[in-house]
Chains A and B, each alone.
Chain A
Amino acid sequence: MKRLLLCFATGTLLLFSSCTTKLKITDVAYQSIRKVEKADANSRAVTPETGAVIAVSPVIDDYGNVKLVVRNLSDKIMVIDRTKSFFIDYSGQSTMYYDPTIRTSTLTTSGTEGATVNLGAIGSALGIGGAVGTALSGINVGGSNTSGVSKTTYSIDQPVVSIGPNSYIDMGREFSIPAGKEFFKSLYEQNPSVDISRPQILPADSYCTFSVSVCYSLDNGETFNSITSNYYANSLLQAHVVNNGKINGPLRKIYSEKSDALEEPWYIIYFNNNLSDFKDSYYINNLVDYQ
């Protein structure tokens, strides 16, 4: 009986030991983004201390998604024309921050199985009348004719928004740039054995450039000014882990090649690994431009 128990315990141990996930960090990567300095010395000198009225900050997360935050540094109400404010990507394609698409989301609750959405409600909300509206009112989408309660929410973008004195807004739309975790993962998959060492990249040679342009007014829309800020990735380094678990070597290599790595306004350090709860990235975001 004792032998049987011992065999059972050993078998259980062996079974479980084969299931444990081991930590494997394959490479350490680093990337930084800077503002392209303006040629005009007067523009470079503008800060909140020297009378700047607007600050624009691209907020880039660790997946390379860029949002734009605009801060009104003045004591007046600031009006932003989103139809004349843009994100310009690497290829030069310009996209305005005003999104004319009307979005709908419908929540339906019903006493019986099956959901029903009456398109007539959407038609009337969109101002569609006449024959088309009548036709729509007769159309039900869903699997049941049983009456239910539908709540449809429409979200329509605003072409012009105001910012209160000394406050900020998020410009709403999000854009993607070649930066962050997914970018690093794709680099590793393309080249799983060769290190990348580009510690100083000039704007003209950069693999990632983008611009933001914001049109604003401080006199209730009488006159408009615009601020345009250009950004570029000024470094890209990736060092592979040669001996499993020895991650200080690759990190030393990166820091030796870029000794100002932790002083860049935006940077990310990434440890490409196989576990979900290991902290794989660390990033700092201090990109800002003033006018």
Chain B
Amino acid sequence: MKKYIYNTFVLAMVVLMASCNSMVNLTVNGTPGTKIYTPEKDLIGTIDNSGKAKVRFESGTAFLLSTAPGYENYIPFGLDYKNHHKGDALKVGGYFAYTIFIAGLAAVSTGLIAGEDGITAIGGITMLAGVAGWVGCAMPGMKHHFAHGYKYFNGIRSNEDLFVVRRDFGTGMKMTGKQK
């Protein structure tokens, strides 16, 4: 009985915690020293010597910004994505949670009619687990992750090479960027 309560509680907490998280982790490739920013210009990572940076940003973002090493001109880069089918899993999960809730309700009713406190308690906990799963599947974080069925490509390049384009054309001067 204790083990059942513990497992149910842990499962409910995992679902709820996952559902509150609407952030995405992604690896960006580029020249070491390139800084990566959100569109609001908050620094979220710097490309290390291996040419990679792990960044974290809000789901639903279409692009990020980068600055070439030693310069402060922002360069945008789009976040390529691919559609997938995890949104279906979310919907099925929601209905699964609903089924658990109904099963718990049935157990509570049976326990109350039969006067079995043990069955009533297990039914109550099962109902709670169903509600937690149901709420979890409906949370914005889960929807961001799965409901629309898209996933960002890992390893996108940060476009800092476009800074070179600007440097070599235009006025004919070697550097037109603002040097720090």
Contact = CB atoms under 8 A, between A and B. Distances in A.
Interface residues of A, number: 35
A246 interface: yes
A120 B76 CA distance: 61
B154 interface: no
B17 interface: no
A104 interface: no
Contacts, number: 104
Nearest to A22: B83
Given A251-B63, A259-B166, A259-B170, A246 B150 contact: no
Contacts of B144: 277
Interface in A22-44: 22-23, 25, 28
Contacts of B91: 16, 19-20
Interface stretch (A92-100, A204-212, A278-286): A278-286
Contacts of B54: none
B156 A248 contact: yes
A278 B143 CA distance: 11
Interface string B119-157: 000000000000000000000100110011110010011
Query: Which residue, of B88, B95, B140, B166, has the highest number of chain A Cβ atoms within 10 A?
Result: B88
**Interface secondary structure of A, over-half rule:** mixed
A269 interface: yes
A259 B150 CA distance: 30
Given A16-B91, A23-B149, A255 B162 contact: yes
A20 B80 contact: no
Given A16-B91, A259-B170, A262-B76, A23 B162 contact: no
Contacts of A21: 87, 148-149
**Interface secondary structure of B, over-half rule:** mixed
A23 B62 contact: no
A13 B92 CA distance: 7
A25 B78 CA distance: 11
A194 B149 CA distance: 28
B148 A251 contact: no
Given A259-B165, A259-B170, A16 B92 contact: yes
B7 to A, nearest CB: 23
B80 A248 contact: yes
A278 B148 contact: yes
A21 B91 CA distance: 12
